[in-house]
Amino acid sequence: MEPIAIIGLGCLFPGADGPSAFWQNLVDGVDSTSMATAAEIGADPAIFFDPAHRLADGYAYGRGGFVRGFHLDPVGLHLSADQLRGLDPLYAWAMHVARQALGDSGYMGRADLLDRCGVVLGNLSFPTRSSQRLLAPLYAGAVAEALDEMIGGASDPTPPLPLWERGLGGEGAVNPLNASISGRPAALVAQALGLGGPYLALDAACASSLYALGLACDYLAAGKADLMLAGAVSCADPLFVLTGFSIFQAYPPEGGVSRPLDRSSRGLTAGEGAGVFALKRYADALRDGDRIYGLVRGVGLSNDGAGKHLLVPNPKGQQLAFERAYADAGVTPQSIAYVECHATGTPVGDIVELNSMERFFGAYGHAPKIGSVKSNFGHLLTAAGMAGMLKVLLSMAHGQIPPTRTLSDPLVSQGGTIGGSGSVQTLTPWPDMPGPRRAGVSAFGFGGTNAHVVLEQNPTPLPPPLPGEEESDLPSPSGRGAGGEGGPLAITGMDACFGPYPDLAALDRGLYAGERSIGPLPASRWCGLPDRAAPDGAYLHGFRFDFLHAKIPPDPTDQPLPQQLLLLQVADRALRDAGVRPGAHIAVLVAMESEPAMHQLRGRQDLGWHLPIMLARAGITLSDAERAELEILLKDALHPRAQVNQYVSFIGNIMACRVAALWDLSGPAFTVSADENSAFRALELAQIMLARGELEAVVVAAVDLAGSIERTVLDAIDGQSGRAVGEGAGALVLRRAADARRDGERIYATVDAVA
């Protein structure tokens, strides 16, 4: 690929509001983790903290990297005071770091360039503090009705305020912008900074930062933008995150400590934060005299495909990411002095990563030094890669590599070449090697989502290849190739399930006959919750799903969300319709918004401290045993105790990875969120990715089960009530039209342009 210049930096990490403070903390070996407090949990942490795993709704490990004391400065943002008031930290953090990076680039307020500036933002599809608060009255109202039946009186359905909002003079502002979790942060960044280019959010789990960087580079290489902001934000509700990793048993056991890349580590520490880079094409940055922090030389994206559980890393996918990154960069792995590892501290994940590196770099007789920034403030999930890349850029600039601070007995790869003495334990001079300083950064996410980036210190001008970097010595070109628009796209497979139409044939008949599919909410759809405000819509009345074919255990207590099952079904049928062979180099892009029904789990958890307050308000006195029994009954009625497979479904990118796993597809798999434009953004990305020439095809799919009671409530808050609801999923298989014609494939239609 043409090198992409990094010309602006912005970050907000635990203990560091900006790159300078971040670097100093790394050099000093500062531990920026701490125990979760009421400020994060919203209630007394003692209610939920459960190291012995005795509670159904608790978390086993309370340490994390938390951002505290942040207040958004509105200066320079194109948003009104009303729009900013009560805005969740998710959006505030994203705008802050994006403004920081844009200002650092020198292009803040440059309308001529900002019209051609876009943003790609990695973001979790998890509930936030504010989205949970918006839906809390719904669940409290259901509990109040149950209490009414007990006492024959009027119970107060107002939920108790979380501790972070008490003492603020009433209930505080309810900002309707908080109702949209997945795509809106990117939209608000674009609006707040006056950007006229493409904007989208994506979920590639813990690889999101590197995926966002790669896609932003693609937009620049394709000429669809002249300046891009790329980054990620991790600001989900802390209790939801702590609960999830406890369910996955990813935390250290009671009394244990997370030590990335150390033999003694038995789990990770989770964290939160945000980071953004400003990017330009290297030639443009040189022409314009921009300050260049470093170059993105190559990006390798892959998926594990079939073979292992969605939560277990697979060396095959990691090695593919390495191969594609160095083929894309056009540099040899021997020129890499240091690799910032994904290394979170989990015993399985860390050793798999080191063994994958040994197999890849060992083939070139090379062993770079390694480290992990997660030793300072934990695993920042979607934003983890931003911290790793920023650490590398600053290390190259200062000529020093900060220590991985918790190392005492460094882990070593199976063959003894990666790790061990090569793990950076003290502040270390950058290795003296020929040519510009180069490093790799890895990020691996749940679902087998892999990414590796090759970064280089800014050379001026760009030097010729090092001796031995002839084309024949580079990794095989299985990664991203040169840019170009690549011509029309052919739709070679498709499927859909919309409203009452279970497949394409039924949809075709209904459209031809002019049938009206809009009707009332199906009976019992809202599981006993009041349905008086249910809008009419094209509701899904259920669908049949083959768990055996999908290789998902049909356990009624541990099932994925219906949204994920429906998407998997239509994507599978579209791939079969296209005659795709399993194991192909195909990408899966799913347009989606987070499923708000996941808030039911948070509603269940909050009953643990809501219920005593509500009983007191209603004048009901129960014994401890009676109250405990009532609490369990109400909790189970609202949401069953979360199990592993169900919680996995809360992770947005997993629905794309399920498709990749079922078909053993090795291309990137992730979700795209841009509100009503999500499917078109996914189509645009497919066009860009196929134009590079390596992917065989791209699956573009979309899903929305918009008829949940939670979505109805959030739409009303967001000022979007009154519209007819549509539910369903669709999928297209896209190939380069020239390739499809060459292979004699059936073509439904061609996509000639996307803008």
Assign 3-class secondary structure to 731-748: EEEEEEHHHHHHCCCCCC
pLDDT digits (tens, 9 = 90+) for 26-46: 999 999 999 999 999 999 999
| pLDDT above 60 for 695 | yes
Handedness of CA 76, 80, 86, 87 (dihedral sign): negative
Q: What is the mean pLDDT of the chain?
A: 91
Residue-wise over 588-601: b if at least 16 C-beta within 10 A, else e? bbbbbbbbbbbbbb
Amino acid of residue 594: S
| pLDDT above 60 for 296 | yes
Measured distance between the N- and C-terminal CA atoms of the chain, rounded to whole angstroms: 23
The conformation of residue 17, written as its DSSP 8-state character, comes to S
User: Encoding tokens for residue 497?
Assistant: 């399930």
Q: Can you spell out the DSSP letters for 127-196?
A: --HHHHHHHHHHHHHHHHHHHHHHHSS----PPPPPGGGTTSSSS----GGGG--SSHHHHHHHHHHT--
* Interatomic CA distance for residues 404 and 188, integer angstroms: 35
- Nearest by Cα to 697 from 740, 750, 644: 740
Catalytic residues: 206, 342, 379
- Nearest by Cα to 6 from 334, 324, 392, 300: 392
| pLDDT above 90 for 240 | yes
The answer to whether the beta carbons of residues 628 and 420 sit under 8 Å apart is no
- Nearest by Cα to 388 from 495, 224, 475, 273: 273
pLDDT digits (tens, 9 = 90+) for 612-631: 988 888 888 999 999 999 99
The conformation of residue 89, written as its DSSP 8-state character, comes to H
The conformation of residue 463, written as its DSSP 8-state character, comes to P
Handedness of CA 673, 280, 274, 424 (dihedral sign): positive
pLDDT digits (tens, 9 = 90+) for 118-169: 999 999 999 999 999 999 888 888 888 878 777 766 667 777 767 555 433 3
Note the pLDDT of residue 29: 96
Residue-wise over 4-43: b if at least 16 C-beta within 10 A, else e? bbbbbbbbbbbbbbbbeebbebbeeebbbbbebeeebbbb
Given the DSSP bridges, would you call strands 199-203 and 117-123 parallel, antiparallel or unpaired? parallel
Report, in angstroms and rounded to the nearest whole number, the Rg of the chain calculated over CA atoms: 25
pLDDT digits (tens, 9 = 90+) for 668-678: 999 999 999 99
The answer to whether the beta carbons of residues 371 and 262 sit under 8 Å apart is no
For residue 423, name the pLDDT band (cuts at 50, 70, 90): very high
User: Encoding tokens for residue 190?
Assistant: 């674009």
pLDDT digits (tens, 9 = 90+) for 454-491: 999 987 654 455 555 544 454 543 334 434 487 999 99
The answer to whether the beta carbons of residues 279 and 218 sit under 8 Å apart is no
Which of 70-84, 131-145, 164-178 bottoms out in mean pLDDT, i.e. has the lowest? 164-178
* Interatomic CA distance for residues 695 and 680, integer angstroms: 19
